[in-house]
């Protein structure tokens, strides 16, 4: 114990912590939670055992006698504050605090004259307000990892700089951490002020599930900060979570139902629209595609509508085109398909194997945390055809040719076996299949597949040794693994690697898919899949159907339903007549746009429930307005299985949430008595899905819970497969390489994401993010660009057997020779006019990551 102004508090941490524990907090302007203290502002100086010391940099030790408010300290702080005000004009909280401490201005007032910058789409800098607390510098370096700021000049000349030039030319990724950190308004943004009552809710974009502090006024959201104490993001956000909120009140939002009359979509009443929807669905055969953007409760209601009211298991969601291969591939090895560990385990790992994942752009908060771990000394192996930001700082980058994962993963395993790096005790105690795998791997040496993978064998060996010799090797994977002809099998091979080195079932390791959408985990958990009921209870399981049917008071259909691609094929053949799509832009995001259009225009009834008139909604017979995540209560489940609350900040623009709309459709079909209230729906989910049995809104209140939550009061399950695998023993599998039928002799097109945009871009194209990233770009290596006479910045045509896309060429060494990379965030690009029909052999997930193309200049 030590005493602070006579109050006893426990030791530990810094004296700043101790003053807080004692309720005798001292002013501290340069301190920033989560970063190293610098002792720059000198305001937090206290008296310790008779001497003055900065509280933020002095450890709190037993026996210390600390005083925070002696007359000498008060005078010292007054001097510091007055000197600061003589050299700057801080605004905001810091300005008020400094003026209060300084009293009248004994050292004069600051005249201004330092630089400002307004070149960036969202950030603004005004150094006259800067007090050199350097919180921005530490936030950018130690939270984001971008190192944009440095202190330039010395003494009174010292000021925050960004390497000369205008700010829009820096490496800034617009995460806004510096804005959130700046106490003076010197670094601010174009958003409005912080209100007094921010609402905590979950980000609506990616599967990281960051917790937001949303400030709203009469005109909508005024600003968004990171929720400081949330375990997922600890106050940090990316550009989308922080700055892409204007879509919510954009004039393009749909506010009334639309129905097609004489070929035109025209406004209609809810009664008219619902009557058409009910008639078409009842006539059938009908199917539903649910939205990974919507809440668990809405997804649950959506599949219930199809199963309990319409009597079909024909319901699927975008997990099909994303991480369905992860679920299938991991189920083979472990018995269940979800991430094994927590995001927080990134801080515990000493090596990352990052495979087919562009984490700093697609899961920026996890990506930033991986980068921080690497800066602290963790090792990093990246497998990606592109030199992504993380590949650029990796110990080993295996720049695989698109489509060659399977031979490469086998080669990594072969090295582990051949060089005696197997964790034999783990394999003996917990796995099966090693006897079959070992002889197969002897034929898979890296030297034998160099040609196919394009990766030098020596690098493969080095990567395998690093992975096998780390004490906590954590694997993270993305769509570069799943969206392939052998996507599911490749995931099973990643599990092989983890099993061989015993990296499952403890903190800091595991096989961790970076799930895509804010609630794709949840959409699948809720049973928006043709073969699984809520909680992954197989449709084929009689007992499960009986149990669920008893809660619903309606039988659960027995026949397995059809997957998303099977449904589109069925529509073309006339075997599907009605399709209800909630929050998914099939035309822009499903492969082979011509085929998708053919399927959708073959239907008698296409219902699209949307925020905007998406490319798919433009084809609908009925468009029903949905409500954004800011307009409803509910839950999303992030990529680490964490069920987190979504809280209403704005009123639903069209008067109803998506849950209300689904229930209205149920009622129009004659099914009465269904609640659309989110908490009550969750209570029903808890009855239906055993892994959710203990979930209540009260239990989710703070940081949510990671499922399984098998009974009330259960604390949730941070790590899976601790003592035994869900399937019993971990299964090591033999998977021979089967080259994709999509391979040709052209360039290998792989498609994916850019930081500032989100999937179809309906939302991020209606926010300042569009100024940060105004168009899709095709990355092409100079080796390929030069002979094709393609220069940087020029418009090019990307052509495949299926169609053409147009984009701006980026001639760059970021992508490997022979491969090109294109994003799909703008409809005018037509990325998915080019992608084709090859699918994952197990799940039907499209091969978005490999298309044989030619590229030529437009002219």
Ligand X SMILES: Nc1nc2c(c(=O)[nH]1)N[C@H]1C(S)=C(S)[C@@H](COP(=O)(O)OP(=O)(O)OC[C@H]3O[C@@H](n4cnc5c(=O)[nH]c(N)nc54)[C@H](O)[C@@H]3O)O[C@H]1N2
Q: Is 139 in the site for ligand SF4 (CB under 6 A)?
A: yes
Tracing tokens 């800098």 back to the chain, one arrives at: 125
Q: Is 752 in the site for ligand X (CB under 6 A)?
A: yes
The rounded distance, in Å, linking the Cα atoms of 239 and 450 is: 39
The rounded distance, in Å, linking the Cα atoms of 130 and 125 is: 9
Q: From the list ligand SF4, Mo ion, ligand X, none, which binds 492 (C-beta under 5 to 8 Å, kind-based)?
A: none
Please pick, from the candidates 332, 504, 582, 705, the single residue that binds ligand X as defined by CB under 6 A.
Answer: 582
Q: From the list ligand X, Mo ion, ligand SF4, none, which binds 583 (C-beta under 5 to 8 Å, kind-based)?
A: ligand X
One character per residue 819-858, x = contact with ligand SF4 (rule: CB under 6 A): ----------------------------------------
What is the dihedral angle through the alpha carbons of 809, 812, 814, 820, rounded to the nearest 10 degrees?
40
Indicate the residue among 363 and 369 with the shorter CB distance to ligand X.
363
Q: From the list Mo ion, ligand SF4, ligand X, none, which binds 371 (C-beta under 5 to 8 Å, kind-based)?
A: none
Indicate the residue among 27 and 516 with the shorter CB distance to Mo ion.
516
The rounded distance, in Å, linking the Cα atoms of 516 and 536 is: 19
Strands 730-731 and 123-126: unpaired
Q: From the list ligand X, ligand SF4, Mo ion, none, which binds 785 (C-beta under 5 to 8 Å, kind-based)?
A: none
Indicate the residue among 322 and 606 with the shorter CB distance to Mo ion.
322
One character per residue 584-603, x = contact with ligand X (rule: CB under 6 A): xx---x--------------
Distances (CA, A) of 466 to 284, 345, 374, 378, 395: 56, 19, 14, 11, 9
Q: What is the DSSP letter of 186?
A: S
Distances (CA, A) of 266 to 171, 338, 802: 46, 43, 33
Q: Is 643 in the site for ligand SF4 (CB under 6 A)?
A: no
Dump the DSSP string for 623-678: EEE---GGG--EEEE-TTSEEEEE---S--TTS--HHHHHHHHHHHTT-------H
Q: How far is the CB of 848 from Mo ion (least distance, A)?
A: 10
Nearest residue to 243 via CA among 264, 223, 226: 223
Cis peptide bond prior to 486, omega within 30° of 0: no
Q: How far is the CB of 319 from ligand X (least distance, A)?
A: 8
Nearest residue to 855 via CA among 826, 825, 828, 819: 819
Q: From the list Mo ion, ligand X, ligand SF4, none, which binds 139 (C-beta under 5 to 8 Å, kind-based)?
A: ligand SF4
The rounded distance, in Å, linking the Cα atoms of 380 and 369 is: 13
The rounded distance, in Å, linking the Cα atoms of 218 and 612 is: 22
Binding span for ligand SF4 by CB under 6 A among 205-213, 520-528, 747-755, 802-810 = 205-213
Q: Is 184 in the site for ligand SF4 (CB under 6 A)?
A: no
Q: Binding-site residue total for Mo ion (CB under 5 A)?
A: 2
Q: From the list ligand SF4, ligand X, Mo ion, none, which binds 803 (C-beta under 5 to 8 Å, kind-based)?
A: none
Please pick, from the candidates 80, 82, 148, 466, the single residue that binds ligand SF4 as defined by CB under 6 A.
Answer: 148
- Maximum CA pair distance of the chain? 87
Q: Which residues, numbered 232-291, are part of the site for ligand SF4 (CB under 6 A)?
A: 233, 237-238, 240-241
Q: Which residues, numbered 216-235, are part of the site for ligand SF4 (CB under 6 A)?
A: 233
Task: Give the residue closest to ligand SF4 by C-beta.
Answer: 241
Nearest residue to 222 via CA among 204, 202, 196: 196
Q: Which residues, numbered 97-136, are part of the site for ligand SF4 (CB under 6 A)?
A: 123
Q: How far is the CB of 240 from ligand SF4 (least distance, A)?
A: 4
Q: Is 178 in the site for ligand SF4 (CB under 6 A)?
A: yes
Q: Which residues, numbered 508-547, are part of the site for ligand X (CB under 6 A)?
A: 514, 516-517
Buried b (16+ CB within 10 A) or exposed e, 548-567: bbeebeeebbeeebbbbbbb
Q: How far is the CB of 170 from ligand SF4 (least distance, A)?
A: 7
Q: Which residues, numbered 461-520, are part of the site for Mo ion (CB under 5 A)?
A: 516
Binding span for ligand X by CB under 6 A among 140-148, 290-298, 328-336, 706-714 = 290-298
SS3 821: strand
Contact partners, residue 491, CB within 8 Å, separation at least 6: 325, 326, 328, 329, 330, 477, 481, 482, 511, 513
Strands 286-289 and 315-316: parallel
Supply φ then ψ for residue 133, to 5 degrees.
-75, -20
Binding span for ligand SF4 by CB under 6 A among 202-210, 673-681, 689-697, 705-713 = 202-210
Q: Is 322 in the site for Mo ion (CB under 5 A)?
A: yes
Q: Is 565 in the site for ligand X (CB under 6 A)?
A: no
Distances (CA, A) of 475 to 3, 130, 455, 499: 46, 42, 20, 12
Residue 833: its H or E element: helix 831-834
Contact partners, residue 275, CB within 8 Å, separation at least 6: 668
Q: From the list ligand X, Mo ion, ligand SF4, none, which binds 129 (C-beta under 5 to 8 Å, kind-based)?
A: none
Supply φ then ψ for residue 135, to 5 degrees.
-65, -35
Per DSSP, helices labelled H in 3-105 are 15-21, 71-87, 92-102
Indicate the residue among 85 and 582 with the shorter CB distance to ligand X.
582
One character per residue 328-367, x = contact with ligand SF4 (rule: CB under 6 A): -----------------------------------xxx--
Q: From the list Mo ion, ligand X, ligand SF4, none, which binds 203 (C-beta under 5 to 8 Å, kind-based)?
A: ligand SF4
Q: Is 318 in the site for ligand X (CB under 6 A)?
A: yes
Q: From the list ligand SF4, Mo ion, ligand X, none, which binds 626 (C-beta under 5 to 8 Å, kind-based)?
A: ligand X
Q: How far is the CB of 845 from ligand X (least distance, A)?
A: 9
Please pick, from the candidates 22, 56, 141, 206, the single residue that binds ligand X as defined by CB under 6 A.
Answer: 206
Please pick, from the candidates 68, 299, 444, 614, the single residue that binds ligand X as defined by CB under 6 A.
Answer: 614
Distances (CA, A) of 618 to 499, 605, 607: 48, 13, 11
The rounded distance, in Å, linking the Cα atoms of 414 and 421 is: 10
Q: How far is the CB of 319 from Mo ion (least distance, A)?
A: 8
Binding site residues, ligand SF4, CB under 6 A: 123, 139-140, 144, 146, 148, 172-178, 203, 205-206, 208-210, 233, 237-238, 240-241, 363-365
Binding site residues, ligand X, CB under 6 A: 206, 291, 293-294, 318, 321-322, 355-358, 361-363, 383-386, 388, 400, 402-403, 405, 478-481, 483, 514, 516-517, 582-585, 589, 609-612, 614, 626, 628-629, 658, 750-753, 755, 757-760, 762-763, 821, 824, 831-832, 835, 848-849
């Amino acid at each position: 114990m030590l005493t602070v102004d006579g109050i006893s508090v426990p030791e530990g941490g810094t004296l700043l912590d101790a003053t807080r524990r004692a309720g005798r907090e001292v002013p501290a302007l340069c301190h920033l939670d989560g970063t190293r203290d610098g002792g720059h502002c000198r305001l937090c100086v206290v008296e310790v055992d008779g001497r003055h010391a900065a509280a933020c940099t002095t450890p709190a030790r037993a026996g210390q006698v600390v005083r925070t408010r002696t007359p000498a300290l008060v005078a010292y702080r007054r001097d510091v504050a007055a000197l600061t005000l003589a050299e700057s004009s801080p605004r905001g909280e810091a300005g008020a605090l400094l003026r209060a401490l300084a009293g009248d201005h004994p050292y004069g007032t600051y005249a201004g004259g330092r630089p400002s910058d307004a070149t960036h789409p969202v950030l603004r800098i005004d150094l006259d307000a800067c007090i050199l607390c350097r919180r921005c510098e530490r936030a950018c370096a130690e939270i984001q990892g971008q190192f944009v700021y440095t202190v330039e000049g010395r003494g009174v000349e010292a000021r925050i700089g960004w390497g000369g030039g205008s700010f829009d030319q820096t490496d800034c990724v617009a995460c806004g951490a510096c804005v959130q950190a700046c106490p003076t308004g010197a670094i601010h943004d174009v958003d409005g002020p912080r209100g007094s009552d921010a609402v905590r809710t979950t980000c609506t974009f990616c599967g990281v599930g960051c917790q937001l502090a949303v400030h709203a006024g009469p005109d909508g959201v005024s600003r968004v900060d990171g929720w400081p104490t949330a375990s997922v993001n600890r106050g940090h956000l990316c550009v989308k979570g922080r700055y892409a909120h204007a879509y919510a009140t954009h004039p393009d939002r749909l506010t009334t139902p639309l129905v097609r009359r004489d070929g035109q979509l025209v406004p209609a009443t809810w009664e008219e629209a619902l009557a058409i929807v009910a008639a078409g669905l009842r006539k059938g055969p009908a199917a539903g595609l649910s939205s990974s953007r919507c809440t668990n409760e809405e997804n649950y209601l959506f599949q219930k509508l199809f199963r309990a009211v319409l009597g079909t298991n024909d319901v699927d969601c975008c997990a099909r085109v994303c991480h369905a291969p992860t679920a299938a591939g991991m189920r083979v090895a472990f018995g269940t398909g979800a991430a094994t560990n927590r995001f927080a385990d990134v801080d515990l790992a000493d090596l990352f194997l990052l495979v087919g994942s562009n984490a700093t752009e697609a899961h920026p908060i996890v990506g930033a945390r991986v980068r921080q771990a690497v800066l602290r000394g963790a090792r990093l192996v990246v497998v990606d055809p592109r030199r992504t930001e993380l590949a650029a700082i990796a110990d080993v980058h295996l720049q695989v040719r698109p489509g060659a994962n399977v031979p490469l993963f086998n080669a990594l395993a072969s090295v582990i076996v051949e060089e005696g790096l197997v964790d034999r005790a783990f394999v003996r105690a917990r796995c099966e299949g090693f006897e079959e795998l070992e002889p197969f791997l002897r034929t898979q040496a890296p030297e034998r597949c160099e040609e196919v993978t394009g990766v030098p064998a020596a690098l493969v060996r080095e990567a395998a040794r690093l992975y096998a010799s780390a004490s906590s090797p954590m694997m993270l994977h993305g769509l570069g693994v799943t969206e392939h002809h052998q996507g599911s099998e490749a995931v099973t091979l990643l599990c092989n690697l983890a099993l061989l080195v015993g990296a499952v079932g403890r903190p800091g390791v595991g096989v961790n898919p970076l799930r895509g959408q804010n609630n794709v985990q949840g959409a699948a958990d809720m049973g928006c899949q043709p073969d699984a009921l809520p909680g992954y209870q197989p449709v084929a399981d009689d007992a499960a159907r009986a149990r669920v049917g008893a809660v619903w008071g309606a039988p659960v259909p027995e026949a397995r339903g059809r997957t998303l691609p099977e449904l589109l094929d069925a529509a073309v053949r006339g075997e599907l007549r009605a399709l209800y799509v909630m929050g998914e832009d099939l035309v822009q995001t499903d492969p082979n746009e011509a085929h998708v259009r053919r399927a959708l225009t073959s239907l008698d009834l296409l219902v699209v429930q949307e925020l905007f008139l998406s490319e798919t909604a433009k084809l609908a017979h009925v468009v029903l307005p949905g409500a954004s995540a800011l307009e409803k209560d509910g839950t999303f489940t992030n990529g680490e299985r964490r069920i987190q609350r979504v809280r209403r900040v704005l009123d639903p623009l069209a008067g109803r949430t998506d849950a209300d709309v689904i229930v209205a459709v149920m009622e129009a079909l004659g099914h009465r008595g269904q609640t659309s209230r989110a908490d009550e729906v969750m209570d029903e989910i808890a009855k239906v899905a055993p892994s959710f049995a203990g979930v209540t809104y009260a239990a989710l209140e703070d940081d949510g819970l990671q499922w399984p939550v098998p009974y009330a009061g259960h604390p949730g399950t941070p790590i899976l497969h601790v003592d035994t695998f869900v399937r019993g023993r971990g299964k090591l599998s033999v998977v021979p390489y089967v080259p994709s039928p999509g391979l040709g002799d052209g360039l290998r097109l792989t498609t994916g994401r850019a930081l500032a945009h989100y999937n179809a871009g309906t939302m991020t194209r209606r926010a300042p993010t569009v100024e940060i990233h105004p168009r899709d770009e095709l990355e092409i290596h100079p080796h390929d660009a030069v002979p094709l006479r393609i220069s940087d910045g020029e418009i090019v045509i990307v052509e495949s057997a299926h169609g053409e896309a147009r984009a701006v060429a980026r001639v760059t060494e970021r992508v490997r020779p022979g491969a090109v990379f294109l994003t799909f965030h703008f409809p005018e690009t037509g990325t998915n006019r080019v992608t084709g029909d090859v699918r994952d052999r197990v799940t039907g997930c499209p091969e978005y990551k490999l298309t044989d193309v030619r590229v030529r200049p437009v002219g």
